[in-house]
């Protein structure tokens, strides 16, 4: 076996557990509180609350569009879906505090918009904003 491949494998085996252990777990009671967090959180740097994530994501989409990392159609589509999420969020709140099912629904929809953003930005070789 090539000694560089062997040493590289040892390095990866040593670093991966440390990276996984360094990731903070979300606050108990929130979306995904019972999930196993073993990979890097794609929401790193984002607020943990729904409205904070909506604002953070909108700002990042606008920044990506301005920088050319997302084309206008991609950006408008993501912002349109984000607007629908905000409307649903407002309707849920009008009926009272969010329950676990509503929170999970909003977070899943935010995750989908976020995945679109990450895919567009990564595809265009811009890594972060």
CB 104 within 8 A of CB 31: yes
Average pLDDT over residues 24-41: 50
- Quote the crossing angle between the two packed helices 100-123 and 50-67, to the nearest 10°: 20
Average pLDDT over residues 35-47: 67
Which residue is it, tokens 């903070």? 24
For 27, which DSSP code?
A: P
71 contacts: CB under 8 Å, gap ≥ 6: 65, 120
First vs last Cα of the chain: how many Å apart? 41
Closest of 128, 107, 112 to residue 30, by C-alpha: 107
Q: What pLDDT is stored for residue 40 in this prediction?
A: 60
For 25, which DSSP code?
A: P
Give the residue extent of every domain in the chain: 1-41, 45-129
pLDDT tens track for 114-129: 998 888 888 775 444 4
pLDDT tens track for 96-114: 999 999 999 999 999 999 9
pLDDT of 85 > 80? The answer is yes
How far is residue 121's CA from residue 85's CA, in Å, rounded to a whole number?
A: 21
| Residue 41 tokens, joined | 């959180």
């Amino acid at each position: 076996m090539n000694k560089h491949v062997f040493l590289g494998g040892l390095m990866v085996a040593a670093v991966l557990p440390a990276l996984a252990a360094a990731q903070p777990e979300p606050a108990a009671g929130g979306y995904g509180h019972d999930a196993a967090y073993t990979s890097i959180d794609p929401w790193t740097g984002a607020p943990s609350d729904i409205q904070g994530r909506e604002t953070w994501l909108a700002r990042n989409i606008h920044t990506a569009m301005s920088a050319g990392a997302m084309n206008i159609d991609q950006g408008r589509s993501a912002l349109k879906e984000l607007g629908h999420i905000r409307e649903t969020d407002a309707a849920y709140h009008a009926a009272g505090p969010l329950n676990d099912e509503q929170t999970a629904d909003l977070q899943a929809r935010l995750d989908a918009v976020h995945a679109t953003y990450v895919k567009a930005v990564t595809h265009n070789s811009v890594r972060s904003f």
